[in-house]
Amino acid sequence: MCGIAGLWVRAGAMPTPALSAAAEAMAATLWRRGPDSAGGWSDPQAGIALAHRRLAVVDLSEAGAQPMHSMCGRYVLSFNGEIYNHADLRRELDARAAHQWRGHSDTETLLALIAAEGLDKALERCVGAFALALWDRRDGVLRLARDRLGEKPLYYGWSAGLLLFASELKALRAVPGFANPVDPGVLGLYLRSNCVGAPWSILRDVYKVRPGHVVTLDAAALARAGGQGESRAFWSLAEVAARAALDIDADEAEARLEALLLDAVGQQVLADVPVGAFLSGGIDSSLITALMARVSSDRIKTFTIGFDHAGFDEAPHARAVAAHLGTDHTELYLGADQVRSEIPMLPEVYDEPFADSSQLPTLLVSRLARQSVTVALSGDAGDELFCGYNRYLVSQRTWQALRAVPTPLRGALAGGLGALSPQQWDRLGRMAPGGGVPMLGAKLGKLARMLRGPLDTRAIYRESSEEWSGALPLLDGRALASGVDQMVPVRTTSEEAMMQWDMTGYLTDDILVKVDRASMASSLEVRVPLLDHRVVELAWSLPLALKKRDGRGKWLLRRILSRHVPDALIDRPKAGFAVPVGAWLRHDLRDWAEDLLAPAALTASAPFDVAAIRTRWAQHCAGSHDWTGSLWGVLMYQAWARRWGASC
């Protein structure tokens, strides 16, 4: 992908050289997103400047350089992403009228489509992952847009009367005088989920463009110098989920889904640079790799990271799938010391607080892949689309039965689950037949918290996905409302309600942020075929029975994959992509964590409830509880605040 940045000031408020220099300084912080070239454009009379860092993937020539001007002269575009169907769109444009193309980049195609149809209609026609800043020279309007599912990031906000926008927060900090403090309400939101969901950012007066939205900012908005601007959707997951399910049998659904996935993968392997795939050996990545082998004439390059720790190493499974598919497989085993050595750089990579511990292996596998390819496909989103997470797999009948159990008895059952420590449950889990149950202690800990609650769908979801059950560890305890708080699911089943919450929140704000920042830190473009919006729309149109059957998720994906990979290579408990951070915090990382969690350090950075955090830290170190998620969230905030000098 690339990095975009820019600023808009009142005409004459900033000298011309300073305007251009500020935009260039912003873009310079994004050089890893675009190491191949840099570009800039400014209009001092309008007070606007756009900048760009380029990772050349399609049309490596200067004809693909940005910011790019439309042939009509009206629009200037700084674009991050890929339009996978741009060749088809270009042919349509040529069929309407003769076009004089400068090159064959998707950015040029998009600009021509915008000039012909307007931004909203153009985006509705595009299949892709993107974020963009479009300046309309005729109307003096800036538009910021983001792809339907939020694969690519885009921040914007205000500082000292300036409107700033960029792919990452660090670019805003490059503007002289930028010193926006932490928003305490957003900090509370972050602590609940270990990430910051759109439209918020951790900093006051700075926002994220919502997925599937266009934000319009005009001269009046610039004069107000605040607020989120006019934001409107060009695509809505809620509208997709509200459509009636198809009346379709399994064979037809399988045929339609596989054909669409083949088309999506076929579009996404096209590039003017080497392409590979992340392969964990799970259902989703194995399916994407198998389909790549179908549509590509070249041998597929695959990449896996292995860890020498029981319950966390999926490299042998990936190796077996790679051997079956005949890929050119690269596997790197890392010791704990090598992985832990990356922790100090996390606040640089994730320049907004972010605390999904799988950020570490994602960073490392991205670095490994970049040694051989510039683009990698991943299997993300299979869980959210096809009912894959453990919280979906407990049947409604089970929850209904548990609701009928008197609260004291449920409390006693929860207490019984706590009779063994998380480490003891993990040891028992490894002894279970069929490959064991990974991270059993953490899973049973979440179940115990659910049993103590009301057991309605929203409560079950929050207990299974949020890190601080009950009061937040803040002195005022307040948090801005999240998307889950505000969104009423349009489907009636608990599984589909949770899937919609995950698609809107966890996928966009956690999974895709993790993948984008980790890959871009290595100048690697990651593409996600399962998030082709046509695949998303088909998946939501399918009956739940084609996703979950006999207590297992991803039924239809499994059925497709079984024709490419033997079931024996795939059929095992879900492990996830993680590292043993909880164990490290008790031992090798204990001094590092103690420094960040010291009472003086906590008090200095935010209005933390020091006693609440220290209690969990003591319990975790003693091994009586597994508070990995909640403590990792505080630690990543503390490390981020220390690196960027941030405070409330």
pLDDT of 313 higher than 80: no
DSSP string, 254-292: HHHHHHHHHHHHHHHT--SS-EEEE--SSHHHHHHHHHH
The predicted pLDDT at position 276 comes to 98
More confident residue, 492 or 288: 288
Task: State the Cα–Cα distance between residues 59 and 541, nearest whole angstrom.
Answer: 36
The residues near 128 (Cβ < 8 Å, ≥ 6 apart) are 81, 82, 83, 84, 85, 86, 106, 147
Band (pLDDT 50/70/90 cuts) for residue 372 is very high
The predicted pLDDT at position 310 comes to 59
The predicted pLDDT at position 40 comes to 97
Band (pLDDT 50/70/90 cuts) for residue 574 is low
Instruction: Tell me what the mean pLDDT of segment 382-410 comes to.
Output: 86
The residues near 95 (Cβ < 8 Å, ≥ 6 apart) are none
Token code pair at residue 629: 């998620």
pLDDT of 432 higher than 80: no
Q: What pLDDT digit, counting tens, does each position of 602-637 carry?
A: 999 999 999 999 999 999 999 988 999 999 999 999
| CATH architecture entry for 242-387+492-569 | 3-Layer(aba) Sandwich (3.40)
In contact, 422 and 428? CB cutoff 8 Å: no
Please tell me the number of Cα atoms within 13 Å of 317 on its side-chain side: 26
Instruction: Tell me what the mean pLDDT of segment 10-16 comes to.
Output: 81
Q: What residues does CATH 3.60.20.10 cover in the chain?
A: 2-235
In contact, 594 and 586? CB cutoff 8 Å: no
Instruction: Tell me what the mean pLDDT of segment 642-646 comes to.
Output: 94
The predicted pLDDT at position 211 comes to 97
Task: State the Cα–Cα distance between residues 18 and 81, nearest whole angstrom.
Answer: 28
CA angle 329, 333, 338 (to 5 degrees): 135
pLDDT above 70 as % of the chain = 97
The CA-to-CA distance between both ends of the chain, in Å, stands at: 33
User: Are β-strands 162-166 and 155-159 bridged in parallel, bridged antiparallel, or unpaired?
Assistant: antiparallel
The residues near 21 (Cβ < 8 Å, ≥ 6 apart) are none
Give pTM, 2 decimals. Answer: 0.94
Q: What residues does CATH 3.40.50.620 cover in the chain?
A: 242-387+492-569
Query: 307 - beta bridge partners?
Result: 334
pLDDT of 577 higher than 70: no
The residues near 460 (Cβ < 8 Å, ≥ 6 apart) are 391, 399, 450, 453, 494, 498
In contact, 378 and 412? CB cutoff 8 Å: no
Region of poorest pLDDT, from 37-51, 128-142, 162-176, 472-486: 472-486
User: Buried b / exposed e across 371-382, counting CB within 10 Å, b at 16+?
Assistant: eebbbbbbbbbb
Instruction: Output the CA–CA distances (angstroms, integers) from residue 581 to 29, 70, 122, 360, 517, in the order listed.
Output: 29, 49, 44, 10, 20
Band (pLDDT 50/70/90 cuts) for residue 404 is confident
Q: What pLDDT digit, counting tens, does each position of 190-236 carry?
A: 999 999 999 999 999 999 999 999 999 999 999 998 999 999 999 99
In contact, 189 and 213? CB cutoff 8 Å: no
Band (pLDDT 50/70/90 cuts) for residue 503 is very high
The predicted pLDDT at position 580 comes to 85
Average pLDDT, whole number, for the chain?
A: 92
Q: Please give the class, per CATH, of domain 2-235.
A: alpha beta
Query: 50 - beta bridge partners?
Result: 6, 41
The predicted pLDDT at position 489 comes to 86
DSSP state for residue 559 in the 8-state scheme: H
Cis peptide before 211 (omega within 30 of 0): no
Q: What does the radius of gyration of the chain's CA atoms come to, in whole angstroms? A: 24
Q: Which of 309, 292, 355, 305 is nearest to 332 (CA)?
A: 305
Name, of 55-64, 385-394, 419-428, 511-520, the range with top average pLDDT. Answer: 511-520
Helices (H) and strands (E) in the chain, counts: 31, 17
Chain centroid, CA 247 distance in Å: 32
Region of poorest pLDDT, from 64-73, 446-455, 469-478: 446-455
Instruction: Tell me what the mean pLDDT of segment 318-328 comes to.
Output: 96
Instruction: Tell me what the mean pLDDT of segment 34-49 comes to.
Output: 95
* Residue that the structure tokens 């570490």 belong to: 360
pLDDT of 146 higher than 80: yes
pLDDT of 446 higher than 90: no
Spell out where 461-614 has E strands.
Answer: 525-527
The predicted pLDDT at position 110 comes to 97
Region of poorest pLDDT, from 69-78, 441-450, 497-506, 548-557: 441-450
Token code pair at residue 153: 């990031």
Task: State the Cα–Cα distance between residues 450 and 65, nearest whole angstrom.
Answer: 53
Band (pLDDT 50/70/90 cuts) for residue 408 is confident
Task: State the Cα–Cα distance between residues 194 and 202, nearest whole angstrom.
Answer: 12
In contact, 323 and 357? CB cutoff 8 Å: no
Instruction: Tell me what the mean pLDDT of segment 128-133 comes to.
Output: 98
CB atoms under 10 Å from CB of 637, counted, come to 27
pLDDT of 470 higher than 80: no
The residues near 407 (Cβ < 8 Å, ≥ 6 apart) are none
Instruction: Tell me what the mean pLDDT of segment 566-581 comes to.
Output: 78
Q: Which of 119, 157, 163, 143 is nearest to 230 (CA)?
A: 143
Task: State the Cα–Cα distance between residues 100 and 103, nearest whole angstrom.
Answer: 9
The predicted pLDDT at position 11 comes to 80
Spell out where 213-361 has E strands.
Answer: 213-217, 230-233, 275-278, 301-307, 328-334
The predicted pLDDT at position 402 comes to 81
The set of catalytic residues is 2
Q: What pLDDT digit, counting tens, does each position of 149-174 carry?
A: 999 999 999 999 999 999 999 999 99
pLDDT of 521 higher than 90: yes
The predicted pLDDT at position 436 comes to 65
Task: Report the SS3 class of residue 333.
Answer: strand
The residues near 15 (Cβ < 8 Å, ≥ 6 apart) are none
Region of poorest pLDDT, from 30-39, 480-489, 633-642: 480-489
